[in-house]
Amino acid sequence: MIPPGMRSVHALPRRSVSLGSWSLVEAELDGLRAALSQSRAGHIAIMSGSCYPLASAEAIDDHLADAPGCSHFELHALPRNTWDAPWANDGGMWRFEHRFLTFGDHLMMIRQRPLPIWRQTPPACLNLHGGAQWKVYARHHARLLLQVIDDNPRLRAYWKRMFIPDEACAHSILKSPELVGEAAATVLDDNLWFIHWPTTDPTQHPEWLTQDDADAITAAAQAGKLFARKVGSAQGTLLDFIDATCRS
């Protein structure tokens, strides 16, 4: 619940972002700084406009209170075979072992492929993990992430030239005891999103949810998922169903 006298919406300065680049991480960090300075929130959820809650605000609060001080990420220790690419069957390590061509905070790509400029060794302090960019931070983990990035310019420079750092930067830093100490143990592998991935090629983007997914969404909510994506504003019937069935 929003405490009396506190605003529920804070508009941040616009930032130019592009797919697969550090600019997306910077936008997330902007949001974390604002949430920490302008609220007393115990948890901070990272989501897009196509995410939709599957529970009321009170139920979400209650769910997160069951694991106080814990963050909820999709987490995969790397390398992992599902992170292979058509040009590299190394479990995604190609992302971490190259610097890629960038312009400012934006990654340069040709035909949806990043352009490596030289090889590099991932910093020894990192316990490499990856997962979806959609996550729920505990307040102290958000503060730790900002502190590590702000205090380590070389580490920031490493992530700035990586491919899709928003799928690995926070995950790896917060799962690295050398950087965050015992706090790494309270970043949980607990994905709170229901997402419908294509069955023919799960490396592609998630499917847009429709009324045909109503039963699966209900089951996901009953299993503890708190959000669904991708949900479009044109799916009014589905949104009404979720409000009546999952959020009542």
Could you write out the DSSP letters of every residue in 161-224?
Answer: TSSSGGGTHHHHHHT-HHHHGGGGGGEEE---EEE---SS-TTSPPPPP-GGGHHHHHHHHHTT
Confidence at residue 4, expressed as pLDDT on a 0 to 100 scale: 54
A 10 A CB-CB count for 30 gives 13
Digit-coded pLDDT (tens) for 120-159: 999 999 999 999 999 999 999 999 999 999 999 999 999 9
Q: What is the DSSP letter of 144?
A: H
Is residue 247 within 8 Å of residue 67, measured between CB atoms? Answer: no
pLDDT of residue 1: 43
Q: Give me the phi and psi of 136, to 5 degrees please.
A: -125, 115
∠ CA(207), CA(210), CA(216), 5° rounding?
85
- Count of Cβ atoms closer than 10 Å to residue 214 Cβ: 16
- CA contacts within 13 A on the Cβ side of 93: 14
Q: How many CB atoms lie within 10 A of CB 105?
A: 17
pTM of the model: 0.92
Residues of the chain with pLDDT under 70: 1-7, 200-203, 248
